[in-house]
Structure 1
Amino acid sequence: MSTAKPAAPPARAEWTGQVGFILSAVGSAVGLGNIWRFPGVAYENGGGAFLIPYIVALLTAGIPILFLDYAIGHRYRGSAPLALRRIAGKLGEGIGWFQVMICVFIAIYYTAVLAWASSYFVYSFDIRWGDDATGFFVNEYLQLADAPFTLHFVPSVLIPLVIMWIVTLIVLGAGVVKGVQRMNVIGIPLLVVGFLALVIRALFLPGAVDGLNALFTPDFSALLIPGVWVAAYSQIFFSLSVAFGIMLTYSSYRRRKSNLTTPGLVVAFSNSSFEILAGVGVFATLGFFAHQQGIGVGDLEGLTGVGLAFMTFPAIVSEMPGGPIFGMLFFGSLAIAGLTSMISIMEVILAAIMDKFGLTRLQATYRIGGVLAVISIVLFGTTSGLTALDTIDNWANNIGIVSSAVAMTITVLWIRGSGRMLAGHLSALSTFKVGRTWLFFVSILGPVVLGYMLVATIIGLIAEPYGGYSAGYLLIVGWGSVVLMIGGSLILTSRRWRYNPDNFEPWPQVNAASRQGGAK
């Protein structure tokens, strides 16, 4: 009996056009971090002066690596493991599967935050958290336990968690166009309109100006602190969803003759614009809260992350006129932003499984998605969910994604020397050309800055236990997550392809040599 692989996989799905792709890419980039992370990071790192390193990071790392993802995904028309294998062999495939494993870990906990946001959207109707938002979130809603792992399920978390997984899998099962694209075409305009209404309302609250002054008053001395620049590169890098398979996968669904760089600029600047809009809305609201308490904005607690979203903001909603509507707008925006990002994270996983093992979309969605849903429910539908979420999130982002970016840029651009070819591909198809400047940013500056971030993060995590958790817990859950990511990528790389991945011709560059000049 012949064991030869079938010659070619089924035809790849495609976006219906430019708008569908842009809205889907914006939907991936605009997520929870835009709303609950950027405002606090900016405030803690120089206020208005932070915008200087932020813009520098956007132009020198965020956009260049975004273009790199687009070029690889479009030219080699595959998921992260398939496209990177086609450009860099087995080593590239291993990096691609590492990116998939990062998405696996993020997907498992990300849905939990969606469940919290959807619950709080409903709770906003009657301000169910009352006058003690922190106590309600920790003790009544999460019923947080001191034990590192329990199987005590919390119905208030479990039910919305199951619902969010069902919604996610239904959207993904419907396909790239009917599911993913349609969700983003509907969701992103709703997100923008809803959040803009929230910002406008916040600007007219007493004390709003004090909040904006706290955010935007520049501290230029902060620009001399290396950590501020690292924070800027970190924010841009994580916010744009680059280097862990999402933008690479999304670009693989683009048509043959598709403008790549101009939509990339639209996505990048749309993402940054939303972050600044979020900063305005969040700090105008915090200014009101500080005004009500008769203290300065800097004296408030919980200015970022889970604390901001589920402790500080509910407390603010309880005190403000029209609080229920404001709460619905905030948590509705948080849920939509999280859902569109969650779908993009899951698409990385499903696309890779379909490419490697030849499963149909429905098979991949409900088999793989179902397994991840069960793991997510067991880990985060219980009284120990918050601790695990905080730990896995830190290691997946600060160790996993940064390692992936360094490995991908070095392998593709240094070892394989594919920089000029990818620059030619981008320039041949796009109105905005790239050239030597892009190559410098993506092959030299990017790996150096990200490598520094990675080393500094590892040293910091070794020197001081993260979050005050025990060293044993961090070893098992934090570093153990990274070990599982690496182990999973090695196992998946070793498995046989359903279709021959090497039976493929890259899309040719049209007059690439004459059009490569570009932005110098």
Structure 2
Amino acid sequence: MARETWATRAGFILAAVGSAVGLGNIWRFPFITGQYGGSSFLITYLAFVALIGFPAILVEFVIGRRTDRNPVGALRELGSGVWSSAGWLFVVTGFIILSYYSVVAGWFLRYTLIGITEGFTVADPAAADALYESVSTGLDTLLFHAMFMLLVVGIIAAGVRRGIELSVKVMVPAILVLLVGLAAYGFTLDGASAAYAYYLSPDFATIAANWTEILPAAAGQAFFTLSLGMGVMITYASYLGEDRNLAADAGIIAALDTLVAVLVGFVVFPVLFSIGIEPGAGGPRTIFVSLTAAFAGIPGGRILGVVFFGMVGIAALSSAISILEVLVSYLIDEVGVARVPASAALGAAVFLLGVPVTIDSIFLGLYDGLADGILLVLGSLLLALFVGWVIPDVGREELRKGIADGAGLDAVWIWAVRVPILIVVVVVLYLGVVDYVGFLTGDFAGWLAAR
């Protein structure tokens, strides 16, 4: 079976950006930024993207293009012993993430529909919270979870060029245009100046005092939004030709992804400040509860809400297809299953794993804390160890392909992968494990005791 490839460079870049630009940027980024001090978190996050995220993307790119395989097949081909089995971590991570990702994406579909049919009339935060409770769990939630997964399966079943590449060429530009328009609208709101001060004036004292919390949160956000640690970039790079400049492509992808995240802040925080809502106070509910109440109280809020929630739904779809493609590529490459049945079977399995999240939101914390706080970081750690210390010459050789003068770049890159990135990722992984154990012994243990 001939392996598919990208039709154009733009198609690959937009697909990778589409993978990165999703719920992590638009749903997760505002409430995480709010929880960890606004600008203090933002500057830490940007530092992680530049110093850790960019080199980490290149780690996945060189593995994928070198082998033309999915994460499992790629590490088995390049490694031996325990390394030949390490690729399974990425399949498991993607499986878990997509299971709850689809449920949350279904929430955005429902909120878009609510805006179209009823409008956003719940200006009272308590009423907005009640609306969120009705949307986030129950039979309707299960149905929208199923609808979203059907969309994802349909695109993946169509293939790399006719499915993924064609869809992202429409979705990603649409996301950028809508975000710029929404950010321009946010500039006109009464709370804009206070929001910009909160968002853009870093407080280094806050970072120094709370680094054990801000550091893992910023690292996890960087890995999540750049689609690192789950094998997406390995899989997408496996469809690349050897003449492509991986460093240039990685730089464009990281820059566009970061631009989207920053733009989201220019949309969300002015809206929240305009009616006096504390950023980050609602945690994962922030986008739904706080913004729904805000849309009910500002001019043109109904249209703004429909556009915003619809845009997030599009972004979620562009990311979800990349995660399912990792799983499907495994069945195609390693088992020989055709694309259509592989897409359908894995889509059904992901749907079933996500069912508990539609029953109780405690499972969202259970899944997200494991995947985002531990598995994504662990995956990036293993890849850095593998490329930096096990196959450094292979990595450097692959990076130089497509670069006119890449000798200096590959030397700096491999040093960064071998030393500073490893140190930072190990610290972040430790902090993430501690945080997740705290969740298991605290909130989740309390939930179980109440049953």
Equivalent position of 1:177 in the other structure: 161
Letter in 2 for 1:458: V
Counterpart of 2:307 (choices 323, 329, 344) is: 329
Letter in 2 for 1:137: Y
Contact 1:73 1:83 (8 Å CA) reproduced? yes
SS at match of 1:37: helix
TM value normalised by structure 2: 0.92
CA 1:67/1:431 → structure 2, altered by over 3 Å: closer, same or farther?
farther
CA 1:89/1:161 → structure 2, altered by over 3 Å: closer, same or farther?
same
SS at match of 1:11: coil
Aligned CA-pair RMSD: 2.2
Provide Cα deviations, 1:235-282, integer angstroms capped at 9, x if missing partner: 222221112200000000112322211011000011111111111111
Counterpart of 1:62 (choices 42, 53, 61) is: 53
Measured in 1, the distance between the counterparts of 2:50 and 2:144 equals 39
Equivalent position of 1:456 in the other structure: 431
Measured in 1, the distance between the counterparts of 2:353 and 2:33 equals 35
Measured in 2, the distance between the counterparts of 1:282 and 1:303 equals 13
Letter in 2 for 1:339: L
Provide Cα deviations, 1:485-518, integer angstroms capped at 9, x if missing partner: xxxxxxxxxxxxxxxxxxxxxxxxxxxxxxxxxx
Equivalent position of 1:501 in the other structure: none
Contact 1:95 1:408 (8 Å CA) reproduced? no
CA 1:261/1:466 → structure 2, altered by over 3 Å: closer, same or farther?
farther
Counterpart of 2:198 (choices 199, 214, 224) is: 214
> Residue 421 in 1 paired to residue 413 in 2?
no
CA 1:49/1:165 → structure 2, altered by over 3 Å: closer, same or farther?
closer
Equivalent position of 1:263 in the other structure: 249
> Residue 81 in 1 paired to residue 58 in 2?
no
Equivalent position of 2:227 in the other structure: 241
Measured in 2, the distance between the counterparts of 1:322 and 1:211 equals 20
Higher mean alpha-carbon deviation, 343-352 vs 280-289, is at: 280-289
Counterpart of 1:135 (choices 130, 145, 153) is: 130
CA 1:216/1:255 → structure 2, altered by over 3 Å: closer, same or farther?
same
Which runs of 5 or more residues in structure 2 are unaligned?
A: none
* Counterparts of residues 158-177 of structure 1 (less than 5 Å): 158-177=142-161
Superposed displacement of residue 77, structure 1: 0.7
Contact 2:243 2:401 (8 Å CA) reproduced? no
SS at match of 1:256: coil
Provide Cα deviations, 1:427-450, integer angstroms capped at 9, x if missing partner: 222357322221121121112111
Which runs of 5 or more residues in structure 1 are unaligned?
A: 1-9, 145-153, 291-296, 475-520
Measured in 2, the distance between the counterparts of 1:392 and 1:47 equals 25
Equivalent position of 1:358 in the other structure: 336
CA 1:306/1:448 → structure 2, altered by over 3 Å: closer, same or farther?
same
Equivalent position of 1:119 in the other structure: 110
> Residue 400 in 1 paired to residue 366 in 2?
no
Contact 1:202 1:281 (8 Å CA) reproduced? yes
Letter in 2 for 1:240: L
SS at match of 1:206: coil
Measured in 1, the distance between the counterparts of 2:301 and 2:203 equals 33
Measured in 2, the distance between the counterparts of 1:372 and 1:274 equals 27
Contact 2:65 2:237 (8 Å CA) reproduced? yes
Contact 1:405 1:447 (8 Å CA) reproduced? no
Counterpart of 2:284 (choices 288, 293, 306) is: 306
Measured in 2, the distance between the counterparts of 1:197 and 1:342 equals 24
CA 1:24/1:301 → structure 2, altered by over 3 Å: closer, same or farther?
closer
Superposed displacement of residue 184, structure 1: 0.6
Equivalent position of 2:319 in the other structure: 341
SS at match of 2:80: helix
SS at match of 1:435: helix
Measured in 1, the distance between the counterparts of 2:42 and 2:363 equals 32
Measured in 1, the distance between the counterparts of 2:170 and 2:225 equals 21
Measured in 1, the distance between the counterparts of 2:394 and 2:286 equals 45
Equivalent position of 2:420 in the other structure: 445
Superposed displacement of residue 230, structure 1: 3.8
Superposed displacement of residue 45, structure 1: 4.2
Measured in 2, the distance between the counterparts of 1:308 and 1:15 equals 37
Segments of 4+ in structure 1 off by > 6 A? none
Superposed displacement of residue 304, structure 1: 6.4
Counterpart of 1:12 (choices 3, 22, 28) is: 3
TM value normalised by structure 1: 0.80
Equivalent position of 1:34 in the other structure: 25
Measured in 2, the distance between the counterparts of 1:353 and 1:324 equals 44
Equivalent position of 2:62 in the other structure: 71
Superposed displacement of residue 111, structure 1: 0.6
Provide Cα deviations, 1:319-356, integer angstroms capped at 9, x if missing partner: 11111111111101110111111110100000011111
CA 1:111/1:43 → structure 2, altered by over 3 Å: closer, same or farther?
closer
Provide Cα deviations, 1:150-198, integer angstroms capped at 9, x if missing partner: xxxx332132222111111110000001001111111111111122221
Identity of aligned residues (%): 27
Equivalent position of 1:293 in the other structure: none
Contact 1:66 1:242 (8 Å CA) reproduced? yes
Measured in 1, the distance between the counterparts of 2:364 and 2:437 equals 20
Letter in 2 for 1:408: L
CA 1:168/1:194 → structure 2, altered by over 3 Å: closer, same or farther?
same
SS at match of 1:470: helix
Number of matched residues? 441
Contact 2:357 2:364 (8 Å CA) reproduced? yes
Contact 1:112 1:380 (8 Å CA) reproduced? yes
CA 1:207/1:14 → structure 2, altered by over 3 Å: closer, same or farther?
same
CA 1:397/1:231 → structure 2, altered by over 3 Å: closer, same or farther?
closer
> Residue 388 in 1 paired to residue 363 in 2?
yes
SS at match of 1:205: coil
Measured in 2, the distance between the counterparts of 1:468 and 1:230 equals 19
Measured in 2, the distance between the counterparts of 1:411 and 1:100 equals 17
Contact 1:72 1:422 (8 Å CA) reproduced? yes
Measured in 2, the distance between the counterparts of 1:284 and 1:174 equals 40
> Residue 194 in 1 paired to residue 178 in 2?
yes
Letter in 2 for 1:437: V
CA 1:43/1:109 → structure 2, altered by over 3 Å: closer, same or farther?
closer
Superposed displacement of residue 46, structure 1: 5.1
Contact 1:26 1:270 (8 Å CA) reproduced? yes
SS at match of 2:86: helix
Measured in 1, the distance between the counterparts of 2:295 and 2:322 equals 31
